[in-house]
Amino acid sequence: MPALSLACRICATEHELVATGTCSNCFGPLDPVYDWDALRGTVSRESIAAGPPSIWRYADLLPVAAPKEPRLAPGMTPLQPAPRLAAELGIGELWLKLDTANPTHSFKDRVVAVAARKAQELGLETLSCSSTGNLAGAVAARAAAEGLEAAVFVPADLEPEKLLAAAAYGPTIYAVNGHYDHCSRLSVELSFELPWGFVNVNLRSYYAEGSKTIAYEIAEQLGWETPDAVVAPVASGALYHKVGQGFDELHALGLVDGPTPRLFGGQAEGCCPVATAFESGARVTPVRPDSIARSLAIGNPADGDFAVATARATGGSIYAVAEEAIGENMALLAQTTGVFGETATGVTLGALRRAVANGELGARSRVVLLVTGDGLKTPGPVAHTYNPVLIEADADAFVDEVLAVA
């Protein structure tokens, strides 16, 4: 296990590698500390390629020991070219990072796998989380695979498709009267009362590191070259920030050629505190979520200001995407690539379209778009595309009447 300690991202106070989510000195977020000088001497392209086809090929860069017998291992998801969508948008080269290929069809499997390993190292027997759906499924599935208990807290009005998928793994689901931020606050309070591993609270420092593996994989799958830009959804801001961190770490290790990609992010207009802060230059101000993109509807994003800083440091942008455009973008992605992404991907594609419209990306750009969740979990926004043609079971009538009219 290469992590040496946890250090506050704000005041640099160091902490032991225990289940703690915030700095005892200033309440800032904690990040694992690694010995980068030692890692430069041991981690290479060859050592990574010799590892398993999952996130555990990057175990030397993660804050937990790799499992001896990995179960339900996420990662090494496909990176697929999207030439038809690229042509539609006016982009030179577009790739889709399909985290829908993870065990529960979202990128959350990555972060939960890392958090669960830490829970096991600490002897915690219950995995828990607050969730807008994808995380609930990832926690429940991981607990089932590892023989742990699972307890998840979700808004009571969450999409049934996500709750049913999570329920199949056998967790206890607590439906909270309120939105996600109510669930999050409840989880924080309970983390001080219960001996549970709350993956996005007291295990958050380890959990968030799992998102770095997306950057690692993109670079490796592109032949250890970096793209010009990566486009990601923004909810808490952790995924967006950690993807940027992942590329920076690859540079620090001398593993990649090319500059750090520009990072572009998207939020839905109904919950866009990070996009608003990026545009205004002010700090992130909490809002009350009201969006169809429920997986992104975090009104008080823990890493929002860090996401803004990442956008500025990489020369990227964070955009608010109109609610009515989300379903349109989901359909555009599906109809030009054969990939059905959830509402978060509709927002991400909307951000990419804004970047193109503003001249930030174009015909010479090599772009990776993150598809972080499966559209089968949130089919509602594309319901307008379902318009079947009613016909009789008569071949002659079909050819002579239906096709002739068409």
Q: Which helix (H) or strand (E) holds 370?
A: strand 366-371
Is 288 contained in some domain?
Answer: yes
In this prediction, residue 132 has a pLDDT band, given cuts at 50, 70 and 90, of confident
CB atoms within 10 A of CB 202: 28
Give the three-class secondary structure for 157: coil
Is 264 contained in some domain?
Answer: yes
Is 308 contained in some domain?
Answer: yes
Please list the alpha-helical segments (H only) found in 180-237. 180-191, 204-207, 212-221
> For residue range 328-369, what is the model confidence (pLDDT) as tens digits?
999 999 999 999 999 999 999 999 999 999 999 999 999 999
Is 8 contained in some domain?
Answer: no
Confidence (pLDDT) at 405? 81
CA distances from 330 to 222, 316, 382 (A): 25, 23, 7
Is 122 contained in some domain?
Answer: no
Strand partners, 261: none
> For residue range 99-122, what is the model confidence (pLDDT) as tens digits?
999 999 999 999 999 999 999 999
Taking residues 28-45, report their average pLDDT: 95
CA distances from 295 to 131, 158, 179, 183, 378 (A): 8, 10, 11, 13, 10
Classify burial at 185, counting beta carbons within 10 Å of its beta carbon; exposed 0-12, middle 13-18, buried 19 or more.
middle
Strand partners, 93: 366
Is 218 contained in some domain?
Answer: yes
CATH of the domain at 261: 3.40.50.1100
Q: What's the angle, vertex CA 384, arms to CA 378 and CA 386, rounded to 5?
A: 90
Is 2 contained in some domain?
Answer: no
Which residues, 6 or more positions from 245, have their beta carbon under 8 angstroms from its beta carbon? 212, 215, 310
> For residue range 374-405, what is the model confidence (pLDDT) as tens digits?
999 899 999 999 999 999 999 999 999 999 88
Picking from 150, 73, 158, the residue whose alpha carbon sits closest to that of residue 110 is: 73
Give the Cα separation of 325 and 361 in Å (integer): 20
Query: What range does the domain containing 97 cover?
Result: 79-104+208-385
Q: Answer yes or no: is pLDDT of 1 > 70.
A: no
Is 229 contained in some domain?
Answer: yes
Confidence (pLDDT) at 143? 98
Which residues, 6 or more positions from 272, have their beta carbon under 8 angstroms from its beta carbon? 287, 320
Give the three-class secondary structure for 64: coil
Confidence (pLDDT) at 153? 95
What is the DSSP-derived secondary structure letter of residue 373?
A: B
Q: Answer yes or no: is pLDDT of 64 > 70.
A: yes
Find the range with the poorest average confidence among 49-58, 167-176, 275-284, 397-406.
397-406
Confidence (pLDDT) at 108? 97
> For residue range 227-252, what is the model confidence (pLDDT) as tens digits?
999 999 999 999 999 999 999 999 99
Confidence (pLDDT) at 162? 76
Find the range with the poorest average confidence among 19-23, 57-61, 191-195.
19-23
Taking residues 4-9, report their average pLDDT: 95
Q: Domain count of the chain?
A: 1
Sign, CA torsion 298/303/305/310: negative
In this prediction, residue 159 has a pLDDT band, given cuts at 50, 70 and 90, of confident
The torsion angles phi and psi of 10, rounded to 5 degrees, stand at -100, -55
Confidence (pLDDT) at 362? 97
Confidence (pLDDT) at 191? 94
Q: Answer yes or no: is pLDDT of 90 > 70.
A: yes
Confidence (pLDDT) at 406? 66
Percent of the chain with pLDDT over 70: 100
Q: Which helix (H) or strand (E) holds 127?
A: strand 126-130
- Full DSSP string of 242-276: HHHHHHHHHHHTT--BSPPPEEEEEEEGGG-HHHH
In this prediction, residue 94 has a pLDDT band, given cuts at 50, 70 and 90, of very high
Taking residues 252-279, report their average pLDDT: 96
